[in-house]
């Protein structure tokens, strides 16, 4: 039942948003309603992106800790992380 809940929830939210948009357009508030919908969608996207970035960073740091501990237990010094090059092929 749980795997069906997420798609069903999205369908219900989409239907509700669509119904609200149709009502707003029919009332003559179409432009403002479209803008509000776009702003709210963008806010949700920004929040989701931030949450994903935080999770990825937490995983990256955790993996680094595990690797460092493994090197430490072997009595070795962990390698220094390499810094990515900017791709400049000229001098500043």
Please answer whether residues 63 and 55 qualify as being in contact, where contact means their C-beta atoms are separated by less than 8 angstroms. no
Please answer whether residues 30 and 24 qualify as being in contact, where contact means their C-beta atoms are separated by less than 8 angstroms. yes
User: What's the CA gap between 74 and 70, in Å, rounded?
Assistant: 6
Sign of CA dihedral 53, 58, 60, 61: positive
Please answer whether residues 78 and 67 qualify as being in contact, where contact means their C-beta atoms are separated by less than 8 angstroms. yes
Residue 31 lies in a domain: yes
Residue 12 lies in a domain: no
Q: Supply the pLDDT for residue 45.
A: 84
Number of domains in the chain: 1
Residue 32 lies in a domain: yes
Predicted confidence (pLDDT) per residue in 8-42, tens digit: 667 777 777 777 777 777 776 667 777 887 788 88
User: What's the CA gap between 60 and 53, in Å, rounded?
Assistant: 10
Predicted confidence (pLDDT) per residue in 39-65, tens digit: 888 888 888 888 889 999 999 999 999
Confidence of residue 1 (pLDDT cuts 50, 70, 90): very low
Q: Supply the pLDDT for residue 61.
A: 92
Q: Residue 59 is part of which domain span? A: 25-75
Q: Supply the pLDDT for residue 66.
A: 94
């Amino acid at each position: 039942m749980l795997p069906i809940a997420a798609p069903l929830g999205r369908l219900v939210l989409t239907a509700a948003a669509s119904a609200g948009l149709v009502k707003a357009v029919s009332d003559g508030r179409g432009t403002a309603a479209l803008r509000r919908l776009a702003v709210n969608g963008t806010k949700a996207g920004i929040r989701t992106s931030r949450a994903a970035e935080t999770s990825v960073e937490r995983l990256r740091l955790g993996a680094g800790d595990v690797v460092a501990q493994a090197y430490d237990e072997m009595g070795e010094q962990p390698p220094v992380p390499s810094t990515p090059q900017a791709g400049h092929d000229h001098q500043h």
